[in-house]
Amino acid sequence: MTKHRRSRKRGALRSQLIAYLGETMPEAQRDDFERRLLDDDVFSEEIYQAQQELLEDYADDALSSVHRKQLNSWVFCSSSRRQNVQLTADLLYRGRRAKRIAIWLYAGAFAAIVLLFVGLRLMHPTRYFRKATEAPAEHANLPMPDFAAPPSGAVSFDDPPRIGSSGGPSAIRPMIVRLVSERLHGELQSSSVFTIREDAPVLLQILVSSGSGCAYNVAIHAETAAVPDRHREHVACVTVEGAQFVDVDLPPGTLPPGAYFVRLSGSEGDLAVRFIVHF
C-alpha cells in the first residue's frame, strides 16, 4: 500500500472512530463497527492505534473545538483514558520544557561567546594603541600601560640589541612612555609624571608635529637624577596611522626616578618635552 493510500485509510478510520465515540454514527453502523472490533484482528489493531492518536491529540489540544466537545464525555467517563491523557500531556510538557531549556542554553552560550569576543576586542592592547594614535592630543603625556611590543618599523640605535626585538630580551616587555613634544620657545613649564618598573625596558614614544620622512637628533638630559645625558643621532620618524613619532628604546635602569628633559633637534627646528618618572 502506498504512503498516500495508507494516510487516507488512517484518516477514514479516524473519522469513523470520532463518529462512533461522538455518538453521531447511525445505530446500524455502530453495530457493524463493534462487530468488526470484536471479530477482526486487523481492524481492532488499527482502531486501537487511531484511538491512541486521538488521545494524544486531545492531550495536545490539537483537535478542533467540535471534535473536542464530542470527545469530552468519552475521555471524562473513564479513569484509564483520563490517566492516558494526563500522562501524554505530562510527556509532552516534559519534551517541550527540555527543548525550551536547550534553546535557552544555546542562546546563553551564544550570548556569552559574543560578549567574550566583544570584551576581548575592547580590552586588546592594540585597540588602546590605535585609539591613542587616532587622538594623540587627548592622551598625550598620560602614563600608559605596559604594551607588548613597540610599533613596527622603529629606528635602530647604537644601544645593545633592540628591546623587544628577536635578538634582545624578548621576555621582558618594554613600558611605553608617550610624550608630546612642543616647539622650544624659552623654558617648558609642564611635566608629565610616569610610574615605571625598575626592571623593565622603556620605550619613549615622542609625538612630533613634522611631516613624513623627518629625522631628529635626540638628547635626553637628566635634570635631577645622577645619570649621564644620552644622545641619539639621526633618529628617523616612525609613521603610525598618519602621525609621526620618534621612538627611543632605553634598557632597564637607564631612567632612575627623577625629572628629564628631552630635546629633539631637526631641520624643521627644535622640539622639547619634559617628564618625571618614579618607580
Instruction: Annotate 152-166 with b (16+ C-beta within 10 A) or e (fewer).
Output: eebbebebeebbbee
Using the rule CB under 8 A, is 113 a contact of another protein? no
| 213, 268 Cβ separation under 8 angstroms | no
Q: Which of 16, 88, 165, 239 binds another protein (CB under 8 A)?
A: 88
Q: Which of 12, 48, 124, 135 binds another protein (CB under 8 A)?
A: 48
* Helix, strand, coil percent content, the chain, rounded in steps of 5: 45, 25, 35
Using the rule CB under 8 A, is 69 a contact of another protein? no
Q: Pick between residue 47 and residue 132 the one whose CB is nearest to another protein.
A: 47
Alpha helices by DSSP H, the chain: 3-21, 27-39, 41-59, 65-76, 79-123, 125-134, 136-139
Q: Which stretch binds another protein (CB under 8 A): 85-93, 128-136, 197-205, 252-260?
A: 85-93
Q: Which of 8, 29, 64, 95 binds another protein (CB under 8 A)?
A: 95
The span from the CA of 141 to the CA of 130, in Å, is: 16
Using the rule CB under 8 A, is 142 a contact of another protein? no
The phi, psi pair for 182, rounded to 5°, reads -130, 155
**Cβ of 263: how many Cβ atoms within 10 Å?**
18
Contacts of another protein in 3-42 (CB under 8 A): 21, 31, 34-35, 37-39, 41
Using the rule CB under 8 A, is 72 a contact of another protein? yes
Q: Pick between residue 21 and residue 149 the one whose CB is nearest to another protein.
A: 21
For the bound state, the minimum distance from the C-beta of residue 108 to another protein, rounded and expressed in Å, comes to 21
Q: Which of 13, 19, 22, 51 binds another protein (CB under 8 A)?
A: 51
Nearest Cα residue to 157 out of 213, 235, 217 = 235
Q: Which of 19, 25, 63, 92 binds another protein (CB under 8 A)?
A: 92
Amino acid at 77: C
Residue 143 grid coordinates: 602614563
Q: Pick between residue 29 and residue 195 the one whose CB is nearest to another protein.
A: 29
Q: Pick between residue 13 and residue 222 the one whose CB is nearest to another protein.
A: 13
The span from the CA of 244 to the CA of 63, in Å, is: 76
Q: Which of 77, 122, 137, 226 binds another protein (CB under 8 A)?
A: 77
Write down the number of H helices and E strands in the chain: 7, 10
Residues within the interface to another protein (CB under 8 A): 21, 31, 34-35, 37-39, 41, 44-45, 47-49, 51-52, 56-57, 60-62, 72-73, 75-80, 82-96, 98-99
